[in-house]
């Protein structure tokens, strides 16, 4: 307020600070996966950068650069909740800019913004829930490998990829998916509200569209890219301040050598075979997520 008064009074030696827009890049598969070079998007690694973004001086808005095919609904929700909490606390507008794809969890993140922009050819939507996996019971049998699993709890090994899938397991999984889908739909309803121009029967099927069609459906607010849209709004002098996630030097250089990234079972460390298959399955699943959208 004082700066605005001094500027209007033309006080000698005083110059109005240039407007600042913090830019938070949300690119990649959402979840705890990834690797030291290309980590996944998750709340643990993003909360601090998001807080730094909202704490900048002379801030006019926070821009989200989103390029994600989705992933963990829990991590999507946690990241979005923190963005909304800080936006309300600081009374700061949040504007999302979708790049190649903002689908599934990627669109969940976009809904954390007050406005959503995309390119004509961006892939938008996929408001649904999907679970993918692989089954290897015949393969390990041919290889002469014996799968040993010991559990306390009859459903603890549900959907184990090395055991046969059962109808009961699939039914339980679908019940879980319905609950998650309901949470996703509620997020879209809350954030987009009356902006939606198409029926829920059309929008909430998991289908996805180009940016132009998404605009017609009310899933986004406009077509455009970050620099031109924000310069038009805040002037050519606006300063863009990227906020990046910090990476530990050892984690960058040595990766998993010090145990990072791999979990362990409650009764002991994962076997080498399990870690190997986990890495392969994670890489395949992440590639499949991008592949669904032609990327």
77-80's contacts with Cβ under 8 Å and 24+ in sequence apart are 77/108, 77/183, 77/187, 78/42, 78/43, 79/26, 79/30, 79/41, 79/42, 79/43, 79/46, 79/47, 79/50, 79/109, 79/112, 80/108, 80/109, 80/111, 80/112, 80/187
Is 156 catalytic? The answer is: yes
- Cα–Cα distances in Å, from 35 out to 31, 104, 199, 251, 262? 11, 22, 39, 9, 10
Is the torsion defined by CA of 123, 128, 129, 135 positive or negative? Answer: negative
Count of beta carbons in the 10 Å neighbourhood of residue 219:
28
Q: Rounded distance, CA 289 to CA 68, Å?
A: 9
Distance CA 149, CA 123 (A): 41
Is 273 in a helix, a strand, or coil? helix
Distance between CA 13 and CA 272 in Å, rounded?
Answer: 67
Q: CA–CA separation, 265 vs 269, rounded Å?
A: 6
Q: Which of 68, 104, 122, 126 is catalytic?
A: 104
Active-site choice (156, 195, 197, 253):
156
Which residues, 6 or more positions from 90, have their beta carbon under 8 angstroms from its beta carbon? 54, 59
Q: How far apart (Å, rounded) are the C-alpha atoms in residues 96 and 28?
A: 15
Question: What is the C-alpha to C-alpha distance for residues 21 and 62, in angstroms, rounded to an integer?
Answer: 6
Residue 228 annotated among the catalytic residues of the structure:
no
Q: Are 226 and 119 in contact (CB under 8 A)?
A: no
Return the active site residues. 104, 156
């Amino acid at each position: 307020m004082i700066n605005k008064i001094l500027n209007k009074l033309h006080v000698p030696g005083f110059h109005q600070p240039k407007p600042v827009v913090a830019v938070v890049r949300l690119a990649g598969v959402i979840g705890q996966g990834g690797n030291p070079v290309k980590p996944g998007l998750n709340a643990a690694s993003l909360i601090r950068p998001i807080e730094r973004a909202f704490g900048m001086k002379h801030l006019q808005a926070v821009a989200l650069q989103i390029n994600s095919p989705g992933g963990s609904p829990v991590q999507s929700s946690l990241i979005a909740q923190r963005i909304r909490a800080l936006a309300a606390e600081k009374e700061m507008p949040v504007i999302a800019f979708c790049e190649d794809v903002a689908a599934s969890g990627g669109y969940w993140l976009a809904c954390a913004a007050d406005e959503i922009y995309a390119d004509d050819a961006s892939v938008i939507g996929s408001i649904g829930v999907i679970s993918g996996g692989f089954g290897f019971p015949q393969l390990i049998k041919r290889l002469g490998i014996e799968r040993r699993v010991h559990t306390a709890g009859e459903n603890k090994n549900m959907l184990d990829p090395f055991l046969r899938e059962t109808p009961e397991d699939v039914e339980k999984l679908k019940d879980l998916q319905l609950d998650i889908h309901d949470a996703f739909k509620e997020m879209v309803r809350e954030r987009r509200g009356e902006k939606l121009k198409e029926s829920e029967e059309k929008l909430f099927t998991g289908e996805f569209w180009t940016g132009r069609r998404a605009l017609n459906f009310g899933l986004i607010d406009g077509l455009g890219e970050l620099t031109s849209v924000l310069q038009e709004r805040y002037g050519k002098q606006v300063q863009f301040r990227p906020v990046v996630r910090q990476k530990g030097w050892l984690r960058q250089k040595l990766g998993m050598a010090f145990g990072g990234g791999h979990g362990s079972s409650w009764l002991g460390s994962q076997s080498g075979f399990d870690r190997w298959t986990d890495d392969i399955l994670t890489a395949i699943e992440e590639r499949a997520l991008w592949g669904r959208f032609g990327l």
